[in-house]
Structure 1
Amino acid sequence: MKLLGPTLLASIVTAGIALSSPSFAAPRHGGDKPQACEAGRFPGHHHFDHEMGGPPLLRDPSLSEEQRESIFKIRHAHAPAQWKAGRALARLRAERETLQLSDNYDAAKGDELIAREAEAYAALLRERAATVREVSAVLTPEQRSRLRNREAEAPQQPGQGPGRRPR
C-alpha cells in the first residue's frame, strides 16, 4: 500500500524547510536580550567572560593595552591553582556534609574534615590574594583606588551580585 505520493512527500519537506528557515535568520538570543557566552547557554556576566570582554576590571577604559595584557596573563597563570583549590574545597565540603547527614557520625573524622576544609579554604584565599597583589602591582595609584572603591561598594552577602550563589 502506497501511503504518500512523491508530490505530497515533496510538499511536506518543502513546507517544513520553509517554516523552519525564519528560526535560522533570527538572532540567537532575541533582539535586546544580553548576549550569552560562547556556548550560548548562560546569558549575562560570568566570572571569566570571554566574548563579553572579560572580568569587569579588564573593561575599565582607563587601562592601557599593556595593562590589560599583563592582567590577563596574571589571571591566566593563577587560574589552574585557583581551580584546583576550589575543587579540593568543594570535595571536602561535600564529604563533611555527607558525614554530618550519615546515621553514624564520627566526631573525630568530622573534626579532621573541618580542619582539612579550613586548610583548603585558606589555600584558595592565599591564591586569590596572590592574584590580587600581582594585578594591583600593574595598576596605577588612581586605578587601585577605583578598584578598592568598587570592591567596597559590592554586595557582600551570598546570593547578591554577579557570580554569587546562595548556599
Structure 2
Amino acid sequence: MNEAPKGAFDQLVDACRTVVQAELQCARIAYFAMHADRSGSVVCEVSGDRISERNCGLEYAGRGFSELVGDFALAQGWQDGIPEGALSAPADAQTTTSFASPPYATAFREFHRTTARVRVVSKKIVTAHSLLDRGPNEQQRSQGCTHPLVSYIPCRPSSTTSIHHTFGTE
C-alpha cells in the first residue's frame, strides 16, 4: 500500500531533522559526560527522576521542532513556498527528504543552534509528549542539536532547566 506523498512543509521538516540528527546524538553524549553522577545517571528535566543515557530522550523546551522549522522558513523569506532546488527531488524508495542545497542546510543548522532549547528527559516522557502534542506537522518533539565542539550552558527560561548550547572552536 502506497502512502500519500508528504506535503512541502513535512518534507522541509524531514530535511531539517536530518541536518541536526548527528548533532543531537553528540549533544546527548556530551551532556551525560558533563552531568552524570557516578552511576551514570542525570536528573530528568521534567519529572526530576534519575535517568540513564539508555533510558533518556531529547525533547524541545518551548517551541517544538516543526515550529522552529516554520520560524526558519519565515526567516528565509519562504512565506510563498520553499524555493525550487532547495530540497532533494522525490526518488524511488526515498523515505526522507534532505536539503539539495548545502547553503540551506548550513543555514538551518546555524538557526537551530541559536534557537533550539533541548532538554534531557525520560523516554517515557518523550513518548507521552509526542502522543499528546503531535500536531498535523509535528512528527516528533524529541529532537535537538549540538556539535562536537559544544559547551553546554544551563538556561532557565522558566522554572525548568534546559540545555542551551553554544558552539566554539575549543
Q: What's the TM-score bracket when you normalise by the shorter of the two chains? A: under 0.3
Which structure: greater helix fraction? 1
Higher relative contact order (CA 8 A, sep 6+): 2
Normalised TM-score (structure 1): 0.26
Which structure: greater strand fraction? 2
- Structure (1 or 2) with the larger CA radius of gyration: 1
Normalised TM-score (structure 2): 0.26
